């Protein structure tokens, strides 16, 4: 077999871990001076809001200065809904309610659904949208994903329903399989066992460079064997198992938000590991989320802004008065909590071995917001953080700034990173300069 080892270069490319993309959403803008990190002596120094990501900062690419120019320049009224409609579509929002022109829907497909046409061809689900109390206030402010113009997709707020969609027909090794199935499976496993044994005998006679290729090939063989016995895609196959949800909790009780977020993130990590999907969304609330952050301290439980209106209360009400120093300090605390949730998700991905690294090496996670400022309802200086990577494509551990550039260019960069080399995404008027430069290695 020694003469054939060089052929593993091509085979390794075919067996490379899949690319995955996750969008991570939180709302109500940010507090810019507490969000923007710095670069000191060529090293990324995180801001107070991003501080929970300290252990992961070498995996981060923080992008500052982008604007939803399609809203700003085409005369759409600023607001939560417009930002929500445009964030992943790069298309302007269209009013769908003459009585309330703020209620609008996107006029194009969202990036997750567009890329699913290519990335999700072999998976059980094209995408999965995991919501954490995305209140059904109105569709325009609740939906990030669009199958096409005016065709939104709602996030699923119940982790129990997400579990059913993903794992309802999950195949455990079965003792009740037919004799023919058992015999066929045994034959396939015996072939794989023989291949593994032969490869092991060759490995010790190889130079180090070829030994690395051989080990990657053995990992792929093991993944195929796991796929045969579980009925799921290879993915990070060695870590694929049916998750446990524990005792059910109320999905609409405000104080359950941390537990619900953890459940949804755990489910998405396992779905990616089992290759049941390659594109997912973690969505903490709607645009203008009105959650109460009681778990962050007594000052939130007694907040006088909690009893405003159904449209603006809790977190939303604080964002409306973000010029007030007390409210501003609370908002920093809230956004820092969201960063800690992102850190939890990234650490879960980093804990799953895959190939020569972890799932985080092959998964790009994009944290974003519908606004730049919650108080002013503006769409310039919107906060974007890329985390993880797709095979080392992005040059991470950095802050990069693109003052006033349209966020369409970032959406186009994500297309290219996922292997879809289109010339534009969303409104072509805002892709004339092509993808953002300087993001990749």
How remote is the C-alpha of 413 from its chain's centroid?
15
CA distance linking residue 142 with residue 433, whole number of Å: 31
Report residue 367: phi and psi, to 5°.
Answer: -95, 130
User: What's the confidence (pLDDT) of residue 2?
Assistant: 53
Q: Would you state the pLDDT for residue 312?
A: 54
Beta-carbon contacts of 235 under 8 Å, excluding residues fewer than 6 positions away, are: 17, 18, 223, 272, 273, 274, 275, 354
Gap between the Cα atoms of 122 and 22, Å rounded: 17
pLDDT tens by residue, 27-52 = 999 999 999 999 999 999 999 999 99
Q: Output the pTM of the full model.
A: 0.83
Of 35-49, 85-99, 334-348, 400-414, the poorest mean pLDDT is in 85-99
Owner of token pair 């524990």:
246
Residue 11 has pLDDT above 50, yes or no: no
Structure tokens, 403 = 């003052």
As a whole-number percent, the residues of the chain with pLDDT over 90 amount to 65
Say whether pLDDT at 58 is over 70. Answer: yes
pLDDT band, residue 299 (cuts 50/70/90): confident
Taking only Cα atoms into account, the Rg of the chain, rounded to an integer number of angstroms, comes to: 23
pLDDT at 323 over 60: yes
Residue 227 confidence (pLDDT) = 43
Q: For residues 234 and 226, is the Cβ–Cβ distance under 8 A?
A: yes
């Amino acid at each position: 077999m020694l003469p054939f080892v060089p052929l593993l270069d091509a085979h390794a490319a075919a067996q490379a871990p899949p690319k995955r993309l996750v969008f991570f959403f939180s709302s109500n803008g940010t507090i810019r001076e507490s969000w923007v990190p710095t670069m000191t002596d060529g090293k990324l120094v995180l801001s107070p809001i991003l501080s929970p990501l300290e252990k992961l900062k070498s995996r981060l690419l923080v992008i500052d200065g982008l604007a939803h120019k399609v809203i700003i320049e085409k005369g759409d009224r600023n607001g939560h809904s417009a930002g929500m409609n445009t964030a992943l579509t790069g298309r302007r929002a269209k009013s769908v309610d003459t009585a309330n022109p703020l209620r609008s829907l996107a006029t194009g497909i969202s990036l997750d659904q567009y890329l699913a046409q290519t990335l999700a061809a072999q998976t059980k689900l094209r995408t999965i949208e995991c919501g954490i109390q995305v209140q059904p206030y109105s569709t325009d402010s609740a939906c990030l994903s669009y199958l096409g113009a005016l065709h939104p997709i709602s996030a699923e707020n119940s982790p129990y329903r997400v579990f059913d969609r993903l794992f309802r027909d999950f195949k455990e090794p079965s003792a009740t399989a037919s004799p023919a199935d058992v015999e066929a499976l045994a034959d396939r496993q015996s072939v794989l066992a023989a291949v593994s044994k032969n490869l092991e005998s060759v490995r010790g006679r190889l130079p180090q460079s070829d030994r690395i290729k051989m080990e990657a090939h053995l990992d792929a063989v093991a993944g195929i064997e796991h796929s045969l016995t579980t009925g799921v895609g290879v993915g990070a196959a060695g870590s694929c198992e049916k998750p446990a949800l524990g005792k059910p909790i109320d999905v609409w009780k405000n104080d359950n938000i941390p537990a619900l977020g953890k459940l949804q993130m755990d489910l998405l990590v396992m779905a990616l590991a089992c290759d049941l999907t390659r594109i997912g969304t973690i969505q903490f609330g709607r645009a203008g989320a009105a959650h109460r952050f009681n778990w962050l301290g007594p000052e939130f439980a007694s907040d006088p802004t909690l009893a405003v209106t159904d449209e603006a209360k809790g977190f939303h009400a604080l964002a409306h008065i973000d010029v007030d120093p007390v409210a501003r300090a609370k908002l920093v605390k809230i956004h820092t909590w969201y960063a800690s949730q992102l850190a939890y998700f990234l650490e879960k991905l980093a804990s799953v071995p895959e190939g020569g690294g972890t799932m985080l090496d092959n998964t790009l996670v994009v944290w974003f917001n519908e606004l730049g400022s919650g108080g002013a309802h503006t769409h310039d200086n919107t906060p974007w953080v890329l985390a993880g990577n797709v095979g080392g494509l992005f040059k991470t551990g950095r802050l990069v700034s693109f003052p006033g550039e349209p966020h369409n260019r970032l959406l186009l960069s994500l297309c290219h990173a996922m292997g879809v080399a289109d010339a534009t995404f969303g409104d072509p008027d805002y892709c004339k300069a092509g993808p953002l430069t300087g993001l990749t290695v």
